Structure 1
Amino acid sequence: MVRLPLTPEQLAAGKRLGHQLRQARGDRTLAEVAQEAGISPETLRKIETGRMATPAFTTVAALARVLPLSLDELADICLAHTGLRQTG
């Protein structure tokens, strides 16, 4: 199966997600958070820098579990500017 290139909107959502995860990590090291989430530090680095714009749901869920973030918050961040964002 050939994967289609990501759209500009998907790339922007990945950058927003990465920025939010980096902010939530605060002073904790990348390696510490990655280990707690059960992912590699390189995977977390790629997500935080936007180089991995569409990480697996289980990866995002694991990061939300170890950071002070909810999946709802992360969904809102990813869906911002798409018209798909849920409102309260």
Structure 2
Amino acid sequence: MIRLPQTPGERERGRTLGRILREARGGRTVSDVAAGANISPETLRKIESGRISSPAFFTVASLCRELGLSADALADGCDPEPSSP
């Protein structure tokens, strides 16, 4: 599989995703959250640091479930231009 280079906006969205997940993790360890989400601690570290800026859907869904986040809220937090009501 060949990945296209990411745009600056995609990289920024990945950093924002990582920040939101780090904040939601709070005082829990990377290992604890990763085990609960059934992913490796290294994968979670890479997502939180923005090195994986577009993780697989099921990875994000598992993290949302483990951290008690709504996928909608996570998506809204990562949207650079939130829609107005």
Q: Give TM-score, length-normalised by structure 1.
A: 0.89
1:42 and 2:16 aligned: no
Query: For the Cα contact (< 8 Å) 1:30–1:41, is it kept in 2?
Result: yes
The match for 1:24 is 24
The match for 2:77 is 77
SS at match of 1:39: coil
CA drift at 1:33: 0.2
Q: Identity of aligned pairs, percent?
A: 55
1:3-29: CA deviation from partner (whole Å, max 9, x where unpaired): 210110100000000000000000000
For structure 1, the residue ranges without an aligned partner over 5 or more in a row are none
1-10 vs 18-27, which deviates more? 1-10
CA drift at 1:40: 0.1
The match for 1:59 is 59
CA drift at 1:68: 2.5
For structure 2, the residue ranges without an aligned partner over 5 or more in a row are none
Q: Give TM-score, length-normalised by structure 2.
A: 0.92
